[in-house]
């Protein structure tokens, strides 16, 4: 019996991904996700240092916005690449593009040049992240598909904790340039190793033209909502979010009527299970992204130090990671139940923060702080409990010819959910008193309404997940 046969016969474990025949692919695919995730948090940490060194405070918001938008375009490129181009070639190109963007950032003398580098870097990072899902069916036997998704979730969790720490190492003076410069040879090395370590992946996509209009409208939506997340004025933020919604809805309408699709068949029709899977993923991330205000609330309301608030907020990511490993052994109907239970946990614990986190607790009383911390951990735990199973459902519900589209859509949904969640959270807290009247009373009000209202998308996730509790039917290949 071969090693892969043994994996299929035994109860699959995430550690099988690191077995000798699978280790090269795991290192390459996990490495791509790591680059995307860690660079997201490192740059967020060193951005103030960049501004202090070369100026450009008025453009600071675009450092992240352009990176996210370009990453979405990179994930789309995986599915829309030129006909006959193999995934290994795309991986090598993505790694080189990421390295080039890092080099541009490292030598930039002004903020506009940094933004160009971030856009190039984001495209490469999005390509590598999208390939992690696109390669799953070629790199691993089917019993390990959920395990690979679990690994990617763990990488994001670890990156949330260590990314800012690494960024802090490069935050003095012009040291931020080294944070980018170190990535240049890494990108080149990954590009060189791609043809040797990644499995062959034939181009089995269906023929069709590139859906330019849908791509443009989707990118417009991502840019608008990402920029909205950086605006302080509530009215302006709301207008930008509304415009983003119009752009995304318009894209979906065109997608539904067009024969030339950006998304896999059925992805925009709620009667189809794959659409409900994507909806569940989107709403889970919208809710989870409300955690961006947790550090502020911990410091302002509970007397927690800035350093400790950062580590406590990382419990959200830790919850996701631990739940992913916990539920990774589930399959069949148990996996469907895990998705539903995870959605319920996220919605309930998010609502609980409206009570425990939104409290004037300057004395740091543990009777209030501990339940709040548990709620934060369980928010992430709920998402992690079902995320890998949602990814596996996507891969099982679409035909081989649309697997690349389905994989790219996973990364796109992640980016959209996070962007909309951040922007909506900003509108809520600003409208609920964070700035006016401000102070303790305003902050308590902002925290309360944020987690009351952000629990509502969680109810949508619960409703959608209830329709996914049975194992997906196998597609005819």
Report which of 311, 286, 318, 342 is spatially closest to residue 469, judged by C-alpha positions.
342
**The predicted structure's pLDDT at residue 414:** 85
pLDDT surpasses 50 at 58: yes
> Which structure tokens are listed for 82?
């030129």
Contact 118, 67 (CB under 8 A): yes
Give domain status of residue 343, yes or no. yes
**The predicted structure's pLDDT at residue 242:** 92
Contact 349, 372 (CB under 8 A): no
Give domain status of residue 211, yes or no. no
Contact 443, 434 (CB under 8 A): yes
DSSP 144: G
Report which of 232, 248, 446 is spatially closest to residue 360, judged by C-alpha positions.
446
> Which structure tokens are listed for 103?
């080099």
Give domain status of residue 215, yes or no. no
Residue 341, CB-side half-sphere exposure with 13 Å CA sphere: 12
> Which structure tokens are listed for 313?
């907020």
- Distant-in-sequence, close-in-space partners of 220: CB < 8 Å, separation ≥ 6: 244, 247
Over residues 110-121, mean pLDDT: 94
Contact 189, 71 (CB under 8 A): no
Q: Kindly write down the DSSP assignment for every residue of 167-218, as one continuous string.
A: HHHT-STTTHHHHHHTHHHHHHHHHHHHHHHSPP----PPP----HHHHHHH
**Per-residue pLDDT tens digits for 389-437:** 998 898 888 887 788 888 888 888 888 888 888 888 888 988 888 878 8
Same domain for 93 and 165? yes
Same domain for 280 and 195? no
Same domain for 27 and 120? yes
- The listed range with the strongest mean pLDDT (33-37, 44-48, 176-180, 280-284) is 280-284
Give the Cα separation of 446 and 433 in Å (integer): 6
Burial class (CB in 10 A: 0-12, 13-18, 19+), 83: exposed
Please state the domain count of the chain. Answer: 2
pLDDT surpasses 90 at 450: yes
DSSP 12: P
3-state SS of 22-39 is CHHHHHHHHHHHHHHHHH
Give domain status of residue 233, yes or no. no
Find the helix packing angle between 273-288 and 439-466, rounded to 10°. Answer: 160
Same domain for 408 and 306? yes
> Which structure tokens are listed for 326?
């916990």
Report which of 468, 429, 329, 312 is spatially closest to residue 380, judged by C-alpha positions.
312
Q: Which DSSP helix (H) or strand (E) runs through 126? A: helix 111-134
Same domain for 189 and 116? yes
**The predicted structure's pLDDT at residue 475:** 47
Same domain for 280 and 152? no
Degrees, nearest 5: CA angle 179-181-186: 100
- The listed range with the strongest mean pLDDT (35-49, 222-236, 268-282, 296-310) is 268-282
Same domain for 192 and 46? yes
φ/ψ (deg, to 5) at 265:
-55, 135
**Per-residue pLDDT tens digits for 291-328:** 888 888 998 899 888 778 877 888 888 898 889 888 87
- Distant-in-sequence, close-in-space partners of 128: CB < 8 Å, separation ≥ 6: 32, 33, 35, 36, 74, 91, 94, 95, 98
Residues in the chain: 477
Same domain for 269 and 187? no
Which carries the bigger pLDDT value, residue 100 or residue 142? 100
Q: Kindly write down the DSSP assignment for every residue of 355-375, as one continuous string.
A: HHTSS--TT--HHHHHHHHHH
Question: Which residue bears the tokens 């991330």?
Answer: 285
Which carries the bigger pLDDT value, residue 328 or residue 250? 250
Which carries the bigger pLDDT value, residue 458 or residue 304? 458
Report which of 338, 331, 377, 372 is spatially closest to residue 354, judged by C-alpha positions.
372
> Which structure tokens are listed for 43?
């740059």
Same domain for 411 and 314? yes
- Residue 98: domain span: 22-203
Give the Cα separation of 292 and 296 in Å (integer): 8
Same domain for 165 and 71? yes
CB atoms within 10 A of CB 171: 19
Same domain for 172 and 284? no
Same domain for 354 and 456? yes
The enclosing domain of 93 has a CATH number of 1.20.1250.20
């Amino acid at each position: 019996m071969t090693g892969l046969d043994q994996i299929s016969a035994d109860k699959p474990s995430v550690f099988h991904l690191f077995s000798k025949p699978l280790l090269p692919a795991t290192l390459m695919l996990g490495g791509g996700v790591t680059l995307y995730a860690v660079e997201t948090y490192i740059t967020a940490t060193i951005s103030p240092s960049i501004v202090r060194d070369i100026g450009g405070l008025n453009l600071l918001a675009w450092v992240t916005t352009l990176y996210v938008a370009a990453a979405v375009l990179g994930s789309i490129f995986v599915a829309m690449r030129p006909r006959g181009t193999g995934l290994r070639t795309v991986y090598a190109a993505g790694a080189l593009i990421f390295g080039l963007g890092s080099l541009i950032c490292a030598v930039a003398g002004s903020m506009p040049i940094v933004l160009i580098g971030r856009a190039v870097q984001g495209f490469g990072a999005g390509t590598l992240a999208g390939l992690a899902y696109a390669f799953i069916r070629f790199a691993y036997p089917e019993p390990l598909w959920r395990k690979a998704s679990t690994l990617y979730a763990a990488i994001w969790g670890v990156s949330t904790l260590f990314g800012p720490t690494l960024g802090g190492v490069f935050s003095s003076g012009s040291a931020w340039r080294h944070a980018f410069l170190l990535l240049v040879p890494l990108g080149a090395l990954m590009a060189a190793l791609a043809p040797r370590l990644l499995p062959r992946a034939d181009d089995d996509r269906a023929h069709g033209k590139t859906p330019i209009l849908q791509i443009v409208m989707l990118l417009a939506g991502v840019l608008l909502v990402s920029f909205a997340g950086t605006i302080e004025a509530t009215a302006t933020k709301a207008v930008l979010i509304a415009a983003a919604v119009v752009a995304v809805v318009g894209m979906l309408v065109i997608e539904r009527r067009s024969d030339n699709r950006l998304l896999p068949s059925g992805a925009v029709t709620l009667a189809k299970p794959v659409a409900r899977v994507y909806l569940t993923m989107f709403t889970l991330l919208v809710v989870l992204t409300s955690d961006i205000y947790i550090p502020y609330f911990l410091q302002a309301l509970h007397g927690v130090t800035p350093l400790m608030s950062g580590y406590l907020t990382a419990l959200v990511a830790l919850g996701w990671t631990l739940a992913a490993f916990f539920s990774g052994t589930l399959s069949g109907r148990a996996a469907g139940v895990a998705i539903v239970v995870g959605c319920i946990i996220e919605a309930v614990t998010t609502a609980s923060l409206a009570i425990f986190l939104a409290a004037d607790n300057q004395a740091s009383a543990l009777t209030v702080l501990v339940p709040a911390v548990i709620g934060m951990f369980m928010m992430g735990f709920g998402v992690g409990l079902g995320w890998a199973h949602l990814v596996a459902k996507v891969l099982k519900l679409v035909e081989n010819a649309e697997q690349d589209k389905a994989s790219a859509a996973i990364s796109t949904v992640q980016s959209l959910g996070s962007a909309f969640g951040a922007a909506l959270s900003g509108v809520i807290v600003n409208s609920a008193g964070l700035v006016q009247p401000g102070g303790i009373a305003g902050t308590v009000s902002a925290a309360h309404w944020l987690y009351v209202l952000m629990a509502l998308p969680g109810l949508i996730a619960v409703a959608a997940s209830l329709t996914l509790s049975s194992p997906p039917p196998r597609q005819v290949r």
